[in-house]
Structure 1
Amino acid sequence: MTAAYSANIQGRRRWRSMFAGLVALAAGLLSTSPAQAQLRVDISGVGATQYPIAVADFANNQAAQSVAEIIRADLSRSGQFQLINTNGSSLDVNSTVEPNDWRNRGADYLAYGSVTQDGGQYTVQYRLIDTVNKNEMDAIAFAGSEKELRRVSHQIADRIYEKITGVRGVFSTRIAYVLQNGDNYELQIADADGQNPQVMLRSKQPIISPAWSPDGSKIAYVSFETEKPVVYVQTLATGKREPVANFKGNNSAPAWAPDGQQLAVVLSRDGISQIYTINADGSGLRRIMRSPLIDTEPTFSPDGSSLVFTSDRGGNPQIYEVPVNGGEARRITYNGSYNISPEVSPDGNNLVYITRRNGAYRVAIQDMATGSEQLLTNGSDDQSPSFAPNGMQVLYSSNQGGRSVLAVTSVDGRVRQTLSSLNGRVREPTWGPFTN
Structure 2
Amino acid sequence: MTTDRTPYIPFAAATPHISRRVLVAALGSVSALPALAQFKVEVTGVGLTQLPIAIAPFRGEAQAPQKISAIVQADLERSGQFRAIDAAGTSLDETTRPDVGLWRQKGADSLAVGSVTRLADGRFDVRFRLWDAVKGQDLGGQSFVVTQVDLRLVAHRIADFIFEKLTGERGVFSTRIAYVTKAGTRYSLWVADADGENAQSALSSPEPIISPAWSPNGGQLAYVSFESRKPVVYVHDVSSGRRRLIANFRGSNSAPAWSPDGRSLAVTLSRDGGSQLYTIDANGGEPRRLMQSAGIDTEPVFSSDGRSIFFVSDRGGAPQIYRVSTSGGNAERVTFSGSYNISPTLSPDGKWLAYISRVSGAFKLHVMDLSTGTVNAITDSSADENPSFAPNGRLIVYATQQQGRDALMTTTLDGKIKARLAGQGGDIREPDWGPFQKQ
Same fold (TM over 0.5): yes
- Tell me the equivalent position of 1:16: 9
- Tell me the equivalent position of 1:204: 206
- Contact in 1 for aligned 2:214/2:432 (Cα 8 Å): yes
Q: Identity of paired residues, percent?
A: 51
- Contact in 2 for aligned 1:210/1:219 (Cα 8 Å): yes
CA–CA distance in 2 between the matches of 1:16 and 1:431? 21
Call closer, same or farther: CA 1:346–1:27 in 2, change over 3 Å: closer
Does the residue aligned with 1:19 lie in a helix, a strand or coil? helix
User: Which residue, out of 13, 27, 32, partners 1:34?
Assistant: 32
- Tell me the equivalent position of 1:114: 115
Cα deviation, residue 30, structure 1: 4.0
Q: Alignment RMSD, CA only? A: 2.0
- Contact in 2 for aligned 1:18/1:253 (Cα 8 Å): no
Call closer, same or farther: CA 1:29–1:142 in 2, change over 3 Å: closer
The reply on whether 1:286 has 2:284 as its aligned counterpart is no
Call closer, same or farther: CA 1:431–1:50 in 2, change over 3 Å: same
Does the residue aligned with 1:91 lie in a helix, a strand or coil? coil
Cα deviation, residue 184, structure 1: 1.1
Q: 372-381 or 276-285, which moves further after superposition?
A: 276-285
Instruction: State the one-letter code of the partner of 2:18.
Output: V
CA–CA distance in 1 between the matches of 2:28 and 2:405? 27
CA–CA distance in 1 between the matches of 2:404 and 2:92? 45
- Contact in 2 for aligned 1:186/1:207 (Cα 8 Å): no
What TM-score, normalized by structure 2, do the two folds share?
A: 0.92
Aligned pair count?
424
Instruction: State the one-letter code of the partner of 1:107.
Output: A
Instruction: State the one-letter code of the partner of 1:59.
Output: R
- Tell me the equivalent position of 1:9: none
The reply on whether 1:388 has 2:390 as its aligned counterpart is yes
- Contact in 2 for aligned 1:31/1:202 (Cα 8 Å): no
Q: 212-221 or 192-201, which moves further after superposition?
A: 192-201
Cα deviation, residue 170, structure 1: 1.1
Task: State the Cα deviation string for residues 55-108 of structure 1 (Å, max 9, x = none).
Answer: 111124522871112111211222322211113213221112221121122211
1:124-273 correspondence to structure 2 within 5 Å: 124-273=126-275
Instruction: State the one-letter code of the partner of 2:108.
Output: A
Call closer, same or farther: CA 1:433–1:254 in 2, change over 3 Å: same
Cα deviation, residue 284, structure 1: 4.4
Task: State the Cα deviation string for residues 227-277 of structure 1 (Å, max 9, x = none).
Answer: 111111111111111211111111110111111111111111011111111
Unmatched runs of 5 consecutive residues or more in structure 2: 1-5
1:52-131 correspondence to structure 2 within 5 Å: 52-61=52-61, 62-63=63-64, 66-118=67-119, 119-131=121-133
CA–CA distance in 2 between the matches of 1:318 and 1:88? 54
Task: State the Cα deviation string for residues 97-127 of structure 1 (Å, max 9, x = none).
Answer: 2211211222110001122343133332211
Q: 41-50 or 247-256, which moves further after superposition?
A: 41-50
Call closer, same or farther: CA 1:389–1:17 in 2, change over 3 Å: farther
Q: 228-237 or 280-289, which moves further after superposition?
A: 280-289
Unmatched runs of 5 consecutive residues or more in structure 1: 1-12
Cα deviation, residue 19, structure 1: 2.6
Task: State the Cα deviation string for residues 383-430 of structure 1 (Å, max 9, x = none).
Answer: 111111111111111122322211111101101112111231101111
What TM-score, normalized by structure 1, do the two folds share?
A: 0.93
Higher relative contact order (CA 8 A, sep 6+): 2
- Contact in 2 for aligned 1:355/1:361 (Cα 8 Å): yes
CA–CA distance in 1 between the matches of 2:66 and 2:184? 37
Instruction: State the one-letter code of the partner of 2:30.
Output: T
CA–CA distance in 1 between the matches of 2:426 and 2:25? 21
CA–CA distance in 1 between the matches of 2:11 and 2:434? 19
Cα deviation, residue 137, structure 1: 1.6
CA–CA distance in 2 between the matches of 1:75 and 1:97? 21
